[in-house]
Structure 1
Amino acid sequence: MLKPFGFLLPLCTLLACSVAHGQIFQRELGDFDLKLGTSPSRSMAQGLVKPSATGSFHGGLDLTHDSGFYFGQWSPSAGINPEHTLEIDSYAGFKQPFDQNLGYEIGVIHYSYPQLDTLDSQELYGGLTLLGSRFGAAFSNDPDKRNSTLFADLGGNEPFGIGISMKYTTHRLNTPVAVDGGFVSSFTDWSMKFSRPFMGIDLNLIYSDSSLNGSSCSAYSGHNSQCDGLLTLKAERSFY
């Protein structure tokens, strides 16, 4: 079980404001490469696998060895804003390219919520990088359910400068939830995001939905912000 590395990261997040692509401080320490920043420096370990609502103060650190092994922490929220609780995601993994066009990555993440009286959760992930695009899968054991996720980030194929990412997750509940007309023991949700930078602004168009609808939505506890279909337009700009 991967344990959080104390409270070093929350101290870093106090200096991080909400930005689209925050600055990343990078420095070599012998055979290690250290990164500190307000945006995730490792897309497979953060963002794609288990996206989380980002608070006003967020940030993280990442330490990578020349051999390909890495570990770090990422906090999507420092818990300063009452709307977001403190979350610390500690991860470790191995990433290795076969050549310039093909590579692989495997790792584990430990999610902890120091401000909440809830059990921590773990997640295994792995994937391939092909011609700049990423394809992978993740398996997690949350306190109330088990999740299996497939995802793709077509960063290497951007027609007209548009990035495309997709995610599909199956959730199996440990205890079925009673709804009108029966019980819900499992459900799926999915999302698709189109992104494009424009004059220093990061534009994102996101569509999300799930297999639940109507009264069954009372059992929803997936990755999306709501059970029913939702189309969201976000515009963010980095100020430093």
Structure 2
Amino acid sequence: MKTQRFGIAAVSGAVLSGSLLMSAPALAQQPWSFSANIGAVSNYIWRGVTQTGDQAAIQGGIDVGHESGFYAGTWASNIDWDEGGSEDVVGIVPVDPNTGLPMTDADGNYIVEGVTSGSDPASPNYELDFYAGFSGAINDDVSYDIGAIYYAYPDGRESDFAEISLSGSFKWFTLGVAYTVYGENDDGLFDDGDLYYFGGADFALPYDFGLSLRAGYYQFENDDVVVGSVTDTSGNVIDLTESANYWHYGASITREAGDFGTFGLNWDQNNGDQEVGYDTDPKIWVSWSKEF
């Protein structure tokens, strides 16, 4: 399973990161348009979960769009899923009632009732996304977007995954779903079959301010995460599991500042199981982005 994405670890709404949706770049009068963006955030939040251990991130991307509605682009950010390369074991070693000795498995290793904590030395340092899709409008109030995105972590363990998504918007409101079609974390989180449901609303406020609301629900195909273990009277180790599925929600207030870009004040939170590794504390973070 991924780190936070848990303590486990694309682009619209108020800022370049931590958003619910990926949207096509604005089109100019020519058939093709090109743009670039750069941003800085005090915390990279993705679907309600920090990707930087509550630390800052520098982000940016390049987009191309066609008047037909086709768009494609790439986007990158630094990430930090952990803080080192060690692993500590927390728990107790049960005593065999027949021998009075600590219990071991078939290989002679102590059986530990508890959970492991620490960090993975193969944790990646940056995320690189590639996306493409098609967006269009049925009328002035109704629009849609069909997209695909590949999340890559080139310098870390096998964590890449890919999604396809479908969303529809009516005036200020958007609803959609993303489906994971490929994942390198076999039989774990962010593998084939995961579903992510999302919704949001964007409102223009006076004096170039904007208000964005967002919420989402992650339904993992392999949602059971081992959080500990117990030993029965026969000496068999039984894993204790909790569901990794979770809701998240948030809001942003942004201010357009002309050539100085867009500034944002943001709040995000999730209700995941803390035994799984979710940090459920509210996250308040600031952001800046600019498009060229």
Alpha-carbon distance in 1 for matches of 2:174, 2:270: 22
Q: Distance in 1 between matches of 2:218 and 2:60?
A: 28
Distance 1:126 1:85 in 2: 29
- Mapped contact 2:199–2:216 kept (Cα < 8 A): no
Distance in structure 1 (CA, Å) of the matches to 2:198 and 2:134: 19
CA contact (8 A) 1:127 1:134 kept: yes
Q: What is residue 58 of structure 1 aligned with on the other side? A: 59
Give the TM-score normalised by structure 2: 0.55
Which residue number corresponds to residue 209 of structure 1?
Answer: 270
The match for 1:134 among 174, 181, 184 is: 174
Residues 150/204 of structure 1: CA separation in 2 closer, same or farther (3 Å cut): farther
Q: CA deviation at 1:152?
A: 2.2
* Correspondence list, 1:81-230, <5 A: 85-140=125-180, 141-142=182-183, 143=185, 144-146=188-190, 147-156=194-203, 161=209, 163-172=211-220, 174=222, 176-180=224-228, 182-197=240-255, 202-212=263-273, 217-220=274-277, 226-228=278-280, 230=281
Aligned residues with identical type, % of pairs = 17
Distance 1:115 1:185 in 2: 29
Question: What is the number of residues matched between the two proteins?
Answer: 200
- Give me the CA root mean square deviation: 4.0
Distance in 2 (alpha carbons) for counterparts of 1:69 and 1:239? 22
Change in CA separation of 1:56 and 1:48 when aligned onto 2, cut-off 3 Å = closer
Deviation per CA, 1:87-133: give whole Å up to 9, x if none.
11001100011122111001110111110121420011111122143
- Larger radius of gyration between Structure 1 and Structure 2: 2
CA distance in 1: counterparts of 2:263 and 2:177, whole angstroms: 26
Gaps spanning 5+ residues in structure 1: where? 1-19, 41-46, 221-225
Contact in 2 for aligned 1:49/1:125 (Cα 8 Å): no
Contact 2:71 2:134 in 1 (8 A): yes
